[in-house]
């Protein structure tokens, strides 16, 4: 034997060159196909090697007692560490097993076809049918044990075979030309054997049929060659030369006929075939061929008379679909006539993607003369997951109603582990109509055990007995076993679904329920009774639910005042049995939903979310029975780890949820927020969504409520920087009746700690002049934690009318000149500086001189200018009013600007000419510190006023990191101001639009504005 390797799931399975199941797959022999079970596995090694029997080093046993313990739905191992190519087959009555044995020898020629007669319900280890010095393979059997006929392939060669070594093309051709067909007829004690072929052809893959003392054997006979294009002689690219025939010989009870040709496949190549004999000796061979050089395959059937002559040859298919692996059996029909039943797998290769590759079994019945029986032209469609490619008829079915098909199929769980199962569908012929049962799982093997080969028969108790060859991939040895299994079809009712609307769960309401039933059995359901809500409902009709059919049954249920979970009991009556399904419908389920989410705390690097919950049903939350769990996530992925959680389990909280609303807080502490911060350690400017999930547990198990849509909600949490549009917030007020004390509250809006800077407060008299200025400490005295608030009080020596409070950030000297100072300032030689706080080295020195000489600004005292003091909105408007020589204007309508205020006339003039708009419709905010963007906006409108509305296009501000913080109203003004060089920023990349303007900055901007003739 020659072998290679192919993958099955996580493991690999050996194949023999002479194993007909794999010839086409491994060596591309003109479309050869398995006549038996095919796993459709992918080849990963085309290098042919001789068999390696190293597995014989492991323990082997034949378990006589195991078969007695078999039961329906169960399996038992007959032989452990079996020959991997034993391929055990059963007689039609299941009393004889035939298989290939390695004879416990490492010699490759030691492979014999053996038989075992069942004794006391078990199969003893078999004995050779015909001992020889050559290897046997492909054993098949038909007929009962008393008159069994067997056939097999014998490799008659004098080659010295070295286990595990590579096989050359010459080796393979020599072995193929040595394959001959052997046959045997059992006489009650032994097999009378005969060699049916003796030629240089490749004679392989026999099939056999028997009935009484008659038998027929058919096989494939072909010339094999080697493609000339093969560069490596160890790569076996074989081809069929000249001859490719189906041959047969008939045994008439005493002797074998001469060899005859049933089909010449020199044009249309043979793929697979099968054979069956009627009780009168008429035989039928059904075969699959590939038409010409196309991919199209068709099914034929040849009728052979008992004398060996061909009576008829019928083409059963003529379509563009792939018609494959024909199977054949014979049964007695209801009209008492025995007919052949032929079935084949039809695979859709054309049409839309949804139906491409869909597997359908088509069925035809043919009598002894080759006439098609029109009442049984049918097809069996598969579900999306079924592959019928390896289906078979179980042996031993005598009547049409006993007939079924079985197939093996792999299934995979969620972790990728596979298990092989045997499935079946039972035929039913009733009232001149053909019915087939749904797909029924008959046997399921343990995980990682693959079915390599199987055979089956139906006994007189209608149980299906399986003989399996398997490989166990749960161990490193991956040994093969012969397994016996037993299964049976049964009638089974399936409750597929119960439909109802949860909105109908109202006390006293007559609530409709629909029960969807499915007949998974092999007989029609005659009647159904449903006990539900204390009432029995009966439904009956002839063939009320046929196998494989759904039925929807509607029942009204009166909802009690106290919601309960009603029980149901459904009984289906079959002609030969009954089946019952019971259960409980969960109606008493509270529906806890999220009504709203609010942020109730935004401070100290924490957020507290308030979750408003409600119960939208008549089912009540109960202490000791229910628990509500709230989970917070920073992504919509419910499989992720929550960043925070909360639990509600007390009666008071449940009562509030049941009767209305209840609010529960979830704390997102500093650790919980770490996952949402950006590289700067801040909450992103656009905010981050926090997702909340409400879960109900009942008696320790999570349950699904009716309305899943309100179990999830989200809220966007924002950075205090983006929310307040500044990194720090200063809130201040007079703190005493004498107006001699100012309380300042300083908030760090950043998640990061703030270090450095100062707070400066200036007290003013009624005319707006500064009386006294105090500061918190030095330039670097402040330290405030992330999102923390610091409060302090400034006490002055006397009372005042108003005050200014400002935070002066600490700017370490990096040696770079990036301020708003003039770049090429020249100090006039005749200027005498009156201010002690303005030095000739200061960047604003010339600007202070300019505004002083032009009477635009004055000192805060005779010897102080206080350049870092903040400018108010009223001050700027007063300066512009002076530039216009104090023109008169009608009274304004700002409620916070009163007659007698030093800025009264200036504000009225500016409002009348559209230079100021106010902070809203009624307030101007004259004593509020002016921001840099407000300064630019007022100066821009003044520019438009002076230039009759002529607009000058400004600069692109996208290069500034904080350009996104510019208010919409101020954007054109800042573009203009930067474009004209009036404002140059507070650093290389920072414009500080919402920073306050100091007196020094105001002086510089005014000088640039006026000297630039803008």
Query: Which residues make Cβ contacts (< 8 Å) with residue 1008, sequence separation at least 6?
Result: 822, 980, 981, 982, 1014
> What six digits make up the tokens of 703?
């349950």
Closest CA to 607 of 711, 689, 730, 678: 689
State the Cα torsion 142-146-152-156 to the nearest 10°: -170
Largest CA distance in the chain: 145
Measuring CA to CA, how many Å separate 925 from each of 498, 805, 930, 934, 937? 68, 15, 9, 12, 15
**Is 323 within 8 Å of 300 (Cβ atoms)?**
no
Predicted pLDDT at 171? 82
Query: Which residues make Cβ contacts (< 8 Å) with residue 669, sequence separation at least 6?
Result: 605, 606, 644
State the Cα torsion 439-444-447-451 to the nearest 10°: -90
> What six digits make up the tokens of 219?
């096989």
Closest CA to 391 of 325, 339, 330: 325
Burial (CB < 10 A; 0-12, 13-18, 19+), residue 491, is buried
Kindly write down the DSSP assignment for every residue of 783-843, as one continuous string: EE-TT-EEEEEEE-SS--SEEEEEEE------S---SSS-TT----TT-----TT--TTST
Q: For 936, list phi and psi in degrees, rounded to 5.
A: -65, -40
Predicted pLDDT at 717? 96
**Is 139 within 8 Å of 152 (Cβ atoms)?**
yes
- Looking at residue 931, the DSSP 8-state letter turns out to be B
Secondary structure percentages of the chain, helix, strand, coil, to 5: 15, 40, 45
- Cα gap 937→269, rounded to integer Å: 91
- Cα gap 606→786, rounded to integer Å: 10
Predicted pLDDT at 357? 62
Predicted pLDDT at 72? 59
Query: Which residues make Cβ contacts (< 8 Å) with residue 575, sequence separation at least 6?
Result: 523, 524, 526
Kindly write down the DSSP assignment for every residue of 92-122, as one continuous string: TTS-EEEEEE-TT-S-TT--EEEEEE-BTTB
- Cα gap 1009→942, rounded to integer Å: 11
Q: Tell me, yes or no, if the pTM score tops 0.85.
A: no
State the CB neighbour count (10 A cutoff) for residue 358: 19
Query: Which residues make Cβ contacts (< 8 Å) with residue 229, sequence separation at least 6?
Result: 237
- Cα gap 123→101, rounded to integer Å: 14
Q: How far apart are the first and last CA of the chain?
A: 102
Beta strand ranges found along 489-643 (DSSP E): 493-499, 510-519, 525-532, 535-545, 550-558, 567-573, 578-584, 592-603, 606-615, 626-633
Where do we find the tokens 């008939």? 250
- Partner residues linked to 344 by β-bridges: 362
- Looking at residue 949, the DSSP 8-state letter turns out to be T
- Cα gap 136→206, rounded to integer Å: 12
> What six digits make up the tokens of 662?
């209840």
* 376-422 per-position pLDDT tens digit: 888 888 777 788 888 999 999 999 988 999 999 988 887 778 889 99
Report helix, strand or coil for 264: strand
> What six digits make up the tokens of 616?
């939208």
Structural domains in the chain plus CATH codes: 2-488 (2.120.10.10), 493-584 (2.60.40.10), 592-718 (2.60.40.10), 726-808 (2.60.40.3230), 845-1011 (no CATH)
> What six digits make up the tokens of 517?
């039933």
Which helix or strand (DSSP H or E) is residue 25 part of? helix 23-27
**Is 161 within 8 Å of 108 (Cβ atoms)?**
yes
State the CB neighbour count (10 A cutoff) for residue 931: 21
Residues of the chain with pLDDT below 50 are: 1-46, 67, 230-231, 233-234, 236, 350, 352-355, 813-829
Length of the chain: 1014
**Is 980 within 8 Å of 835 (Cβ atoms)?**
no
């Amino acid at each position: 034997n020659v072998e290679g390797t192919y993958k099955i799931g996580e493991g690999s399975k050996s194949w023999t060159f002479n194993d007909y199941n794999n010839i086409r797959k491994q060596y591309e022999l003109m479309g050869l196909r398995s006549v038996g079970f095919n796993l459709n596995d992918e080849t990963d090694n085309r290098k042919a090697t001789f068999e390696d029997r190293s597995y014989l080093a492991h323990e082997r046993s034949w378990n006589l007692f195991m078969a007695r313990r078999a039961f329906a739905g169960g399996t038992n191992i007959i032989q452990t560490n079996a020959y991997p190519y034993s391929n055990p087959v059963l007689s039609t009555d299941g009393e004889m097993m035939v298989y290939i044995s390695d004879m416990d020898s490492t010699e490759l020629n030691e492979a014999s076809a053996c038989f075992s007669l069942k004794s006391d319900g078990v199969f003893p280890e078999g004995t050779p049918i015909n001992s020889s010095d050559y290897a046997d393979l492909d054993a098949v059997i038909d007929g009962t044990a008393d008159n069994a006929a067997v056939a097999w392939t014998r490799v008659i060669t004098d080659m010295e075979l070295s286990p595990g070594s590579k096989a050359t093309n010459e080796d393979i051709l020599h072995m193929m030309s040595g394959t001959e067909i052997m046959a045997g007829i059992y006489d009650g004690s032994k097999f009378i054997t005969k060699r049916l072929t003796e030629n240089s052809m490749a004679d392989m893959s026999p099939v056999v049929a028997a009935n009484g003392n008659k038998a027929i054997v058919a096989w494939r006979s072909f010339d094999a060659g080697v493609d000339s294009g093969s560069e490596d002689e160890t790569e076996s690219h074989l081809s069929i030369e000249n001859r490719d025939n189906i041959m047969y010989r008939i045994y008439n009870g005493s002797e074998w006929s001469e060899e005859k040709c049933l089909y010449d496949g020199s044009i249309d190549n043979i793929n697979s075939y099968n054979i069956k004999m009627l009780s009168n000796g008429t035989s039928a061979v059904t075969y699959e061929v590939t038409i010409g050089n196309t991919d199209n395959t068709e099914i034929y059937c040849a009728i052979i008379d008992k004398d060996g002559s061909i009576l008829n040859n019928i083409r059963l298919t003529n379509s563009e679909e792939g018609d494959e692996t024909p199977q054949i059996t014979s049964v007695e029909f209801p009209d008492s006539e025995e007919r052949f039943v032929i079935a084949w797998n039809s695979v859709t290769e054309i049409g839309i993607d949804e139906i491409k590759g869909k597997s359908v079994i088509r069925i035809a019945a043919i009598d002894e003369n080759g006439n098609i029986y029109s009442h049984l032209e049918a097809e069996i469609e598969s579900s999306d997951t079924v592959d019928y490619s390896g289906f078979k008829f179980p042996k031993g079915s005598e009547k049409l109603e006993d007939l079924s098909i079985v197939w093996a199929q792999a299934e995979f769980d969620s972790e990728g582990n596979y298990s092989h199962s045997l499935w079946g569908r039972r035929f039913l012929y009733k009232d001149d109509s053909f019915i087939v049962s749904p797909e029924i799982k008959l046997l399921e093997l343990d995980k990682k055990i693959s079915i390599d080969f199987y055979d089956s028969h139906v006994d007189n108790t209608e149980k299906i007995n399986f003989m399996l060859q398997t490989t166990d991939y749960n161990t490193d040895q991956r040994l093969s076993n012969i397994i016996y299994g037993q299964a049976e079809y049964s009638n089974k009712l399936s409750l597929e679904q119960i439909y109802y609307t949860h909105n109908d769960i109202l006390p006293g309401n007559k609530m409709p329920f629909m029960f969807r039933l499915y007949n998974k059995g092999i007989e029609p359901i005659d009647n159904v009774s449903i006990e539900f809500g204390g009432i029995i409902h009966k439904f009956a009709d002839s063939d009320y639910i046929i196998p494989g059919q759904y039925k929807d049954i509607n029942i009204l249920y009166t909802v009690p005042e106290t919601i309960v979970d009603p029980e149901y009991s459904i009984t289906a009556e079959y002609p030969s049995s009954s089946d019952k399904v019971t259960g409980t419908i969960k109606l008493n389920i509270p529906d806890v939903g999220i009504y709203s989410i609010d942020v109730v705390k935004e401070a100290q690097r924490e957020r507290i979310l308030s979750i408003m919950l409600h119960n939208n049903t008549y089912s009540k939350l109960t202490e000791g029975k229910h628990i509500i769990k709230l989970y917070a996530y920073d992504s919509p992925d419910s499989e992720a780890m929550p960043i925070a959680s909360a639990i509600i389990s007390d009666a008071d909280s449940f009562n509030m949820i049941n009767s209305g609303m209840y609010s529960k807080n979830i704390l997102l502490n500093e650790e919980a927020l770490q996952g949402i911060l950006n590289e700067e350690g801040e909450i992103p400017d656009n905010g981050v969504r926090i997702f909340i999930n409400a879960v109900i547990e009942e008696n320790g198990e999570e349950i699904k409520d009716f309305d899943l849509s309100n179990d999830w909600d989200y809220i966007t949490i924002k950075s205090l920087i983006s929310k307040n549009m500044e990194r720090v917030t200063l809130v201040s007020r007079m703190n005493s009746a004498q107006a001699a004390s100012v309380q300042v509250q300083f908030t760090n809006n950043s998640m990061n700690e703030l270090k450095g800077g100062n707070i400066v407060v200036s007290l003013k008299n009624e005319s707006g002049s500064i009386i006294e200025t105090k500061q918190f400490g030095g330039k670097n005295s402040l330290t405030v934690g992330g999102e923390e608030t610091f409060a302090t009080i400034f006490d002055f020596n006397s009372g005042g009318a108003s005050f200014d409070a400002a935070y002066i950030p600490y700017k370490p000297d990096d040696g770079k000149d990036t301020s708003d100072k003039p770049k090429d300032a020249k100090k006039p030689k005749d200027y005498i500086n009156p201010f002690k706080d303005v030095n000739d080295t200061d960047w604003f020195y010339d600007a202070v001189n300019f505004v002083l000489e032009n009477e635009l600004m004055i000192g805060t005292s005779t010897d102080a200018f206080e350049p870092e003091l903040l400018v108010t909105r009223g001050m700027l408007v007063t300066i512009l009013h002076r530039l216009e020589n104090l023109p008169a204007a009608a009274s304004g309508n700002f409620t916070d600007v009163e007659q007698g205020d030093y800025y009264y006339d200036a504000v009225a003039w500016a409002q009348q000419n559209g230079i100021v708009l106010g902070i809203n419709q009624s307030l101007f905010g004259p004593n509020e510190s002016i921001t840099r963007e407000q300064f630019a906006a007022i100066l821009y409108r003044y520019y438009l006023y002076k230039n009759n509305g002529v607009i000058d296009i400004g600069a692109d501000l996208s290069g500034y990191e904080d350009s996104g913080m510019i208010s919409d109203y101020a954007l054109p003004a800042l573009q203009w101001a930067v474009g004209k060089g009036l404002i140059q920023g507070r650093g290389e990349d920072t414009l500080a639009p919402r920073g306050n303007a100091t007196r020094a900055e105001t002086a510089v901007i005014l000088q640039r504005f006026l000297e630039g003739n803008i």
